[in-house]
Structure 1
Amino acid sequence: MTSEPSIEPLPPTDPTDPAALPLFAALPARPGRVRGDFSIRPAVVGPAALEDARRRRLAMHHPPTTTAASGVSAETPVDWELVRAFRTVVAGRLTAALGGDWHKGSADDAPATPRRAVDLDRDEQERYGWAVIHDVLKEHTADVVNAGSGDAWTSAEQTQMAQAVFDAVFRLGRLQPLIDDDRAENIFILGHDRVLLQLVDGSRIQVDPVADSDDELIDFLRFLANRSESNPRPFSESTPRLHLKLDGGARLAATAWVTSSPTVVIRRHRHKVDTLAAWVDRGCMTPACADFLAAAVRGKWSIVVAGPMSAGKTTLMRALCAEIPRDEVLGTFETEYELFLRETGRHDIVVDWEARPGMGEIGADGRAAGAFDLDEALNDSFRFALDRQIVGEIRGREVWTMIKAMESGTGSLSTTHAAGAEVAIRKLVTCAMEAGGHVTRELALEKLAGCLEVIVQLNRRVVAMPDGSQQLRRWVSEVVVVEAGEREKGYALTHLFGPSSTGPARASGLMSERCKDLTVDGFDLGLYQGEADGRGWPT
């Protein structure tokens, strides 16, 4: 018969001792959110973690699934627990061989033997990483076969696993196959377990999850937000939104804590380099419209591209910027990099500013320490000998940055969300009034009417085809010239092209006298009039 465990009595307390008062008693633990354990750079763990992952893999039966990138059935899906274990081993070996900062090195020539990270550039690190990954997988295969605990991988399975480990160590992990999928235009992540691809034809398909829990997804987003050495961004319960550019140029927008589950939307830029001629070839714009817009850009007219979400506004901005003479010195001002003018090689000098939200304490002015906004960037830019100032997307108070750039006479370009050209003006006025009570509607209208010269409106629609498929179409639906108007309205619009709700806007024949001045910049009046008369463009 076993005896009950004895309970030691608590030592008596001295009533004169202040530490015995309830005030100094330890508080009980409070329940709360448990932080996820996801990390792209985990602590180095020994073979035990890999052995645990192997046992779990053997104990689980995985039915065939469909891979996101290929859309075909795969006999063996990727085991992400095993990938994480391999990632730990590979990261540990890279750290041992190259030092703790192996992901930050730079150099010009590939090494014949391993060197410290400071001697290696990104490509060299990745080549060395591939060698380590292949060694680790080869050792794993030998261990599995020698132990008789499973079958050796096929060549295809080993290639698949090697790519997954490489993506986990060097790139975007489970998100990378979606970013690499050329069929996808938008990626919707609605919680960790519901991921949809919106394809280029406008249809949507569901693909495999990108994380095993919402906490893991949030921790991965935090890693993305903080890994930029030049412009890290906060993402926390106090800052529940995240906007940034991913490696390769895709745009990520994410939110958590203020939605029922972490939500991410990634926009893949399919046309990072584009031209107005390509818009004509794709049936999105008429030749006369392209001719006019090219002349307006060369003539340094200020232009706003408006349209609904995913209508191609940024893509058209790149095409318009391609008309800027190569020798002009350009300055771009964006909340998140999207134009990539510096990467296209079309211009000799591009100075690209990006806003920084700040990650420090909130000061007396209501701004976080370290914040840097577009207005500050524009003020600095006047010392950079720029020929042209280009402000990116206008969503709020940055409209004042756009107005300042347009008033400087450099021929600025911007984009905004609006359902029509005239609606775009009202939207910009509203954005301007967000700056404070000192900005009246009359002041905002006066500023816009005095500096904005052209609005290019885009439209989009998913069209059902006779064969049952569908096609996503985008087109320029109207082009208007903005001028000062009667006092009551504050502006006057001339529809140079369109409007059109079904296809590319055609020349209207209603030409503002100012447009004739663009003939010195290449505007072909004959082409415009011919299109207005129904010649030269199919109906």
Structure 2
Amino acid sequence: MGTDRSRATATEQREQGRRIITELLDAEAADRVTAGAPAWSRQEQAVTAVAVEDALFGLGRLQPLVDDDQVENIIITGHDQVRLELTDGRLIDGPAVADSDRELIDFLVFLASRSEVNARPFSEAQPRLHLRLDGGARLAAAAWVTPRPSVVIRRHRLNRVTLADLVALGTLTDVAASFLAAAVKARRSIVVAGAQGAGKTTLVRALCAQIPPHEAIGTFETEYELHLHEMPEQHPIVFAWEARPGSGERGPDGRQAGEFTLSEALFDSFRFNLSRQIVGEVRGHEILAMLKAMESGAGSISTTHARTAEGAIGKLVTCALEAGPHVTHDYAIRAIASAIDIVVHVHLDTTPGPDDTWQRRRWVSEIITVAPGEREKGYAIQHAFRARPGTAVATAHVLDDTYRDLDAYGFDVEAYHRDGQGAP
């Protein structure tokens, strides 16, 4: 009830603000006529009203860009240096979003403090900002430690997405989609790796769409991006955790007041009878809690940044070692090799296009299976799918015998072998 009431109050406040703005502009228009100044047209007055409302309740001059269905990502390296990534993959120039860098910083400070979903500090003492916007987009910003204020706003257009949708987009083949769908249903633990903006979160959403509706899911994110808890018709039981940064001085334990970490969320989740744990992104020592989750159950899904599928294993080992000297390299490798079954790598390619634009394309470049073994490495991998040289699609390569049972979950093994004919 409290959440519904707060939303109603916010809506009422905006409606009241809209009325006040209209009254003030009507009064100003009348004053202009009385003073003999040129009268505003209805269009000019309407545009001004929208701009004032966006500044007070929305994202200011960013609002039209966020509202544009053709805009996927907004990349800002200064108030007048704006690039837009469109849904068709093109990168184009965008309009200035403020009159100065100072104005842009001031607006970001205001935006962070007034957020209804999760207010966060942004100042010279806290020069980085990660914020989930009221409309669901994710904003990352930095200032004072960069030459000019830098902002990236990521809009997730494919919230309700399936593997079939990604096949239609050319992200992966039918056979690869069949393999991953069966792996999810068979409760294999999967890590999705790739560069920033490669589409990892979108692929995780598509994988989660294969989870049976009776299963209880826990999601763990620094800022909500998966939004599984907003799809009750697809996932009726979802417990969604969001990390929270602290504020003020650090205490004797090195923590700021109010801080809540993903590691704490994962630890708490063991009392919620979860069937699956989905970690939006593993960037540091929360990998230890994630490994515990994978060891306690099965079928977990997470993401990490890495240049290759095998490189993701090394990245996760590094994350584990950051937890402290009590974690040894050998332990990290053994734990990761035992907990993770499959790594999917999503490749992001940017090529020059016509008229000084750039074109981006994303596709699954390889899928590997992971198992303990190989004394030198501590793990063994097998490329179930890999892209042949000069191609932009991962095709069947070598299927580990332990994955042939996926046919019981709908994986077409015969189609896999046909897909792999002619592979090097």
Query: AA paired with 1:445?
Result: I
| 1:324 and 2:202 correspond | no
Partner of 2:371: 483
1:225 maps to 112
Separation (CA, whole Å) in 1 of partners of 2:121 and 2:358: 40
Give the total of aligned pairs.
Answer: 420
Q: Given that residues 506 and 531 in structure 1 are in contact (C-alpha distance below 8 angstroms), is that contact kept between their aligned partners in structure 2?
A: yes
Contact 1:478/1:500 (8 A) holds in 2: no
The residue that corresponds to 1:311 in the other structure is 198
Q: TM-score, structure 1 length as denominator?
A: 0.73
Task: Please show how residues 248-267 of structure 1 align to structure 2 within 5 Å.
Answer: 248-267=135-154
Aligned residue number for residue 360 of structure 1:
248
Aligned AA (1:295) = A
Question: For residues 106 and 318 of structure 1, do their structure 2 counterparts lie closer, same or farther at Cα, with a shift above 3 Å needed?
Answer: closer
Does structure 2 retain, via aligned residues, the 8 Å contact 1:187–1:197?
A: yes
Q: What is the match of residue 371 of structure 1?
A: 259
Match of 2:270 among 382, 397, 400: 382
Residue 492 of structure 1 deviates from its aligned partner by: 0.7
Please list the CA deviations of residues 88-129 of structure 1 after superposition, one character each: whole Å capped at 9, or x if unmatched.
xxxxxxxxxxxxxxxx9955xxxxxxxxxx895444443444
Larger relative contact order, structure 1 or 2 (CA cutoff 8 Å, min sep 6)? 2
Pair 1:506 & 2:395 matched: yes
1:285 pairs, out of 163, 172, 176, with 172
Q: Specify the alignment match of 1:184 in structure 2.
A: 71
Shift in alpha-carbon separation, 1:119–1:223, aligned structure 2, 3 A: closer
CA distance in 2, matches of 1:305, 1:142: 60
Alpha-carbon distance between aligned partners in 2 of 1:198 and 1:229, rounded to the nearest angstrom: 27
In the alignment, which residue of structure 1 is the partner of 2:130?
243
1:294 shift after superposition: 0.5
Task: Describe how 1:114-125 pairs up with structure 2 within 5 A.
Answer: 120-125=8-13
Q: Which residue of 2 aligns with 1:348?
A: 236
2:341 maps to: 453
3-state SS of the aligned residue for 1:393? coil
Question: Which of the numbers 510, 517, 520 marks the counterpart of 2:405?
Answer: 517
When normalised by structure 2's length, the TM-score is 0.92
Looking at structure 2, the residues matched to 408 and 499 of structure 1 have their Cα atoms a distance apart, in angstroms, of: 34
Q: CA deviation at 1:249?
A: 1.7
Distance in 2, matches of 1:465 and 1:204, equals 9
- Whole-Å separation in 1 of the counterparts to 2:7 and 2:134: 22
Q: Find the aligned partners of 2:358 and 2:92 in 1 and give their Cα distance.
A: 14
**Mean Cα deviation higher: 443-452 or 368-377:** 368-377
> Which segments of 5 or more consecutive residues in structure 1 lack a partner in the other structure?
1-103, 108-117
Counterparts in 2 of 1:428-467, with a 5 A limit? 428-463=316-351
Q: Determine helix, strand or coil for the equivalent of 1:360.
A: strand
The equivalent of 1:404 in structure 2 is 292
Distance 2:400 2:90 in 1: 41
> Could you say which residue in structure 1 is the equivalent of 2:380?
492
Q: 1:123 to 1:486 in 2, by over 3 A?
A: same
As a proportion of its length, which structure holds more strand? Answer: 2
Identify the range of structure 1 (194-203 vs 374-383) with the bigger mean alpha-carbon deviation. 194-203
Rounded Cα–Cα distance in structure 1 between residues aligned with 2:44 and 2:422: 60
> Structure 1 residues 356, 481: closer, same or farther in 2, change over 3 A?
same
Where 2:405 maps in the other structure, the secondary structure is: helix
- Using a 3 Å threshold, how does the CA distance of structure 1 residues 428 and 125 change in structure 2: closer, same or farther? same
| Counterpart position of 1:110 | none
- What does residue 189 of structure 2 align with? 302
The answer to whether the Cα contact below 8 Å between 2:117 and 2:133 also exists between their aligned partners in 1 is no
Q: Is the 8 A contact 1:390 1:405 kept in 2?
A: no
The structure-2 alpha-carbon separation of the partners of 1:395 and 1:184, relative to structure 1 and needing over 3 Å to count, comes to same
1:156 aligns with 2:156: no
Contact 1:201-1:470 at 8 Å conserved across structures = no
Quick check: 1:481–1:493 contact (8 Å CA) kept in 2?
Answer: yes
C-alpha distance in 2 between matches for 1:225 and 1:244: 7
Instruction: Assess, with a 3 A threshold, how the Cα gap between structure 1 residues 106 and 375 changes in structure 2: closer, same or farther.
Output: closer
Indicate the RMSD between aligned Cα atoms, in angstroms.
2.4
Equivalent residue letter for 1:507: A
Paired amino acid for 1:422: E
- Cα-to-partner distance string for 1:400-445 (whole Å, 9 max, x where unaligned): 2221221122311111111111111111111111111222211110
Supply the distance in 2 between the matched residues of 1:218 and 1:231 (Cα, whole angstroms). Answer: 19
How far 1:311 moved relative to its partner? Answer: 0.9
